[in-house]
Structure 1
Amino acid sequence: MRFLLILLLWTGLSGHLTAQPATIAITNPNTTSLIQSVVEIPWATVLKVYPQVDTAQLQVLLATSGKEVAYQFEHKGQKDIQNLLVQVSLGPKQSVRVMLRRGHSAQIASKTYCRYVPERYDDFAWENDRVAFRIYGASLNGRSDNAYGSDIWAKRTPTMILDKWYKQNDYHKDHGEGLDYYHVGLTLGAGDIGVFLNDSIQFIHNYRSWEILDNGPLRSTFRVKFDPYTFKGITVNETRTVSLDAGSQLSKIQVSFTHTSSGELPVVVGITLRQQESPLLMDEKEAILGYWEPRHGEDGTIGIGCVFPRQYVTMLRKYEHGLAKVSAKSGETLTYYAGGAWDKAGLITSSDSWFAYLRQYASQLKHPPVVKINP
Structure 2
Amino acid sequence: MKQNLKNILISLVLFTLIIFSCEKQKENTEIILKNNLDIARADEPVTIKKSALSLPYDQFIIIDEEGLLVPFQKDDLNGDQQWDELALVLDFMPQQQRKLYIKAQDSLPVFKATTNVRLGKSPERNGTFTDVVFEKRDKKHLPQSQPPLYQMEGVSWENDKVGFRTYFDSRNGKDIWGKKTPELVLDWVGTKGNYHEMDWWGMDILKVGNSLGAGALAMEKEQQLYRLGETEDAIYEMVSEGPARTKFRLHYKGWQVDDHTYNLTEEITLWKGQYCYESQVTLTDTVTSNLVTGIVNMDAKELYVDTLDENYAMLYTHDIQSLNKDHLGMGLIVPKTYFNGYGETAADAASISSTYFCKLKPNGQEPVKFYFFAGWEVTDSLFSHKAGFEKMLKENSLKLNNPIQIEIHQ
Tell me which interval the TM-score lies in, with the shorter structure as reference length.
0.7 to 0.9
Distance in 1 of aligned mates of 2:360 and 2:321: 30
Deviation at 1:340, TM superposition (A): 0.9
**In 2 relative to 1, CA 202–374 (structure 1 residues): closer, same or farther, beyond 3 Å?**
same
Measured against aligned partners, the alpha-carbon deviations of 1:153-184 in whole angstroms (never above 9, x if no partner) come to 11121111111212224212222110013111
Equivalent residue number for residue 365 of structure 1: 400
| 1:201-216 equivalence runs, <5 A | 201-205=225-229, 208-216=234-242
SS at match of 2:95: coil
**In 2 relative to 1, CA 17–372 (structure 1 residues): closer, same or farther, beyond 3 Å?**
closer
Q: Does 1:246 align with 2:246?
A: no
**In 2 relative to 1, CA 148–78 (structure 1 residues): closer, same or farther, beyond 3 Å?**
closer
Equivalent residue number for residue 112 of structure 1: 115
Distance in 2 of aligned mates of 1:291 and 1:267: 21
Equivalent residue number for residue 68 of structure 1: 69
Equivalent residue number for residue 23 of structure 1: 30
In structure 2, what residue type is equivalent to 1:369? I
Q: TM-score, normalised by structure 2?
A: 0.79
In structure 2, what residue type is equivalent to 1:343? E
In structure 1, what residue type is equivalent to 2:249? R
| 1:82-231 equivalence runs, <5 A | 82-103=84-105, 104-119=107-122, 120-122=148-150, 123-138=154-169, 141=170, 147-205=171-229, 208-231=234-257
Q: Is the 8 Å Cα contact of residues 206 and 322 (structure 2) preserved in structure 1?
A: no
Q: Is the 8 Å Cα contact of residues 112 and 242 (structure 2) preserved in structure 1?
A: no
**In 2 relative to 1, CA 203–11 (structure 1 residues): closer, same or farther, beyond 3 Å?**
closer
SS at match of 1:356: helix
SS at match of 1:328: coil
**In 2 relative to 1, CA 81–298 (structure 1 residues): closer, same or farther, beyond 3 Å?**
closer
**In 2 relative to 1, CA 295–107 (structure 1 residues): closer, same or farther, beyond 3 Å?**
same
Distance in 2 of aligned mates of 1:266 and 1:15: 55
Distance in 2 of aligned mates of 1:239 and 1:186: 22
Equivalent residue number for residue 344 of structure 1: 378
Q: Does 1:34 align with 2:41?
A: yes
Distance in 1 of aligned mates of 2:174 and 2:334: 17
Equivalent residue number for residue 237 of structure 1: 263
In structure 2, what residue type is equivalent to 1:315? Y
Deviation at 1:121, TM superposition (A): 4.2
Aligned-pair identity (%): 21
In structure 1, what residue type is equivalent to 2:262? V
Distance in 1 of aligned mates of 2:226 and 2:288: 16
In structure 2, what residue type is equivalent to 1:326? L
Q: Does 1:52 align with 2:75?
A: no
Deviation at 1:309, TM superposition (A): 2.3
**In 2 relative to 1, CA 197–100 (structure 1 residues): closer, same or farther, beyond 3 Å?**
same
Q: Point out 4+ residue stretches in structure 1 off by more than 4 angstroms.
A: 1-7, 9-20, 295-299, 329-332
In structure 1, what residue type is equivalent to 2:56? Q
Q: Is the 8 Å Cα contact of residues 271 and 304 (structure 1) preserved in structure 2?
A: yes
Match of 2:314 among 266, 271, 288: 288
**In 2 relative to 1, CA 85–235 (structure 1 residues): closer, same or farther, beyond 3 Å?**
same
Distance in 1 of aligned mates of 2:21 and 2:156: 52
Deviation at 1:264, TM superposition (A): 0.8
Deviation at 1:190, TM superposition (A): 0.8
Distance in 2 of aligned mates of 1:256 and 1:14: 47
Which runs of 5 or more structure 1 residues have no equivalent in the other structure? 142-146
Deviation at 1:225, TM superposition (A): 1.8
Deviation at 1:105, TM superposition (A): 4.6
Which runs of 5 or more structure 2 residues have no equivalent in the other structure? 123-147, 347-353
**In 2 relative to 1, CA 170–40 (structure 1 residues): closer, same or farther, beyond 3 Å?**
same
Q: Is the 8 Å Cα contact of residues 267 and 328 (structure 1) preserved in structure 2?
A: yes
Q: Is the 8 Å Cα contact of residues 148 and 186 (structure 1) preserved in structure 2?
A: no
Distance in 1 of aligned mates of 2:323 and 2:295: 20
Q: Does 1:333 align with 2:364?
A: no
Equivalent residue number for residue 144 of structure 1: none
Q: TM-score, normalised by structure 1?
A: 0.85
**In 2 relative to 1, CA 276–305 (structure 1 residues): closer, same or farther, beyond 3 Å?**
closer
Q: Does 1:305 align with 2:306?
A: no
Q: CA RMSD in A?
A: 2.8
Q: Is the 8 Å Cα contact of residues 345 and 356 (structure 2) preserved in structure 1?
A: yes
Q: Is the 8 Å Cα contact of residues 166 and 174 (structure 2) preserved in structure 1?
A: yes
Distance in 2 of aligned mates of 1:284 and 1:14: 54
SS at match of 2:98: strand
Measured against aligned partners, the alpha-carbon deviations of 1:180-207 in whole angstroms (never above 9, x if no partner) come to 1311121100122211123232111167
Deviation at 1:250, TM superposition (A): 1.0
Distance in 2 of aligned mates of 1:137 and 1:374: 45
Aligned length: 359
**In 2 relative to 1, CA 24–102 (structure 1 residues): closer, same or farther, beyond 3 Å?**
same
Measured against aligned partners, the alpha-carbon deviations of 1:92-113 in whole angstroms (never above 9, x if no partner) come to 3321110111334543211111
332-341 or 197-206, larger mean C-alpha shift: 197-206
In structure 2, what residue type is equivalent to 1:282? V
Distance in 1 of aligned mates of 2:389 and 2:357: 18
